[in-house]
Structure 1
Amino acid sequence: MTVAEKFVGTWTFAESENFDAYLKQIGVGLIMRGIAKNLKPTLTFSVNGNKWKIVSESRFKKHVWEFELGEEFDETTPDGRQVKSKFFLEGDVLVQLENAIKASGKSTRFERYIDEQGQLVIVSLIVVITSKYFSVEIFVIS
């Protein structure tokens, strides 16, 4: 079975941990966080070659991702942020990078995989970038 075939199908929500903290980090307001925490979306994955489609559907909202692996595209996230997204595989993990367009925005890495119990797991990580610079001595020869 290919990695893509493991994802194909419909997945019903079971539970989440720290979802409110994630929503707060990306700037979702209190009222919308309250609504989002109570949603139990169904996810449907379909794959045709390199083209994937993921549909997240709840009684409140429907969000669709249609993409080709490795190709960046413009996305409006379910909470309304504008990002550049890119999906790719790292082994058995479907990775999504959401790169914030606004300087004040947060970039996120999502990792989707099927665990040992056959459950779809989605891990979200706020991307923190640290830059370090070394001092360089410049010698002027006259």
Structure 2
Amino acid sequence: MVEKFVGTWKMISSENFDDYMKAIGVGFAIRQVGNRTKPNLIVTVDEQGTVSMKTQSTFKTSEIKFKLNEPFEETTADDRKTRTVISLENGKLVQKQSWDGKETSIEREVTDGKLIARCIMGDVVAVRTYVREA
């Protein structure tokens, strides 16, 4: 099921991301950079079933490697230290991050050839849309 996410994805739009970053506690300066950045998302899977998600931009590149449903420690692009678990739920890749008593989730799904990432913190939802690079 993860196979449909594999590839290089280029961001084409980002809605409400500033409000989402505010909701998770990102400071003003990093939010300014985050709002201007249009990262590529590169997803690969190795023979052992380890998934790699690399977010690549001119500002910063970050990468996480994980196995589905196995919790791991993540240092996010904005330097939060989270306990993260990623699972497949109804065809969506759902990433749940928890830190300091807070929790956020990022739901990624492939629809009509686009990868839609919904970043959810409480009632704040940001939607980031990617298309597959040829």
Which of the five TM-score ranges fits, normalised by the shorter chain?
0.7 to 0.9
Stretches of 4+ aligned residues off by more than 4 angstroms: none
- Where structure 2 has 5 or more consecutive residues not aligned to the other structure, the ranges are 124-134
TM superposition score normalised by structure 2: 0.86
Q: Does 1:109 align with 2:108?
A: no
What's the counterpart of residue 59 of structure 2?
A: 60
- What code does the residue aligned with 1:113 have? E
Distance across 2 between alignment mates of 1:43 and 1:53: 10
- What code does the residue aligned with 1:81 have? R
Distance across 2 between alignment mates of 1:27 and 1:97: 16
CA contact (8 A) 1:99 1:108 kept: yes
Task: Report the Cα offset of residue 91 of structure 1.
Answer: 2.0
CA RMSD between the two structures: 1.3
- Aligned residue pairs total 122
TM superposition score normalised by structure 1: 0.82
Task: Report the Cα offset of residue 50 of structure 1.
Answer: 2.7
> Which structure: larger Rg?
1
Between Structure 1 and Structure 2, the one with more strand by share is 2
Q: Which has the higher contact order (CA 8 A, sep 6+)?
A: 2
1:16 to 3, 14, 18: 14
2:12 aligned counterpart, secondary structure? coil
CA contact (8 A) 1:109 1:127 kept: no
Q: Does 1:69 align with 2:65?
A: no
- Where structure 1 has 5 or more consecutive residues not aligned to the other structure, the ranges are 129-142
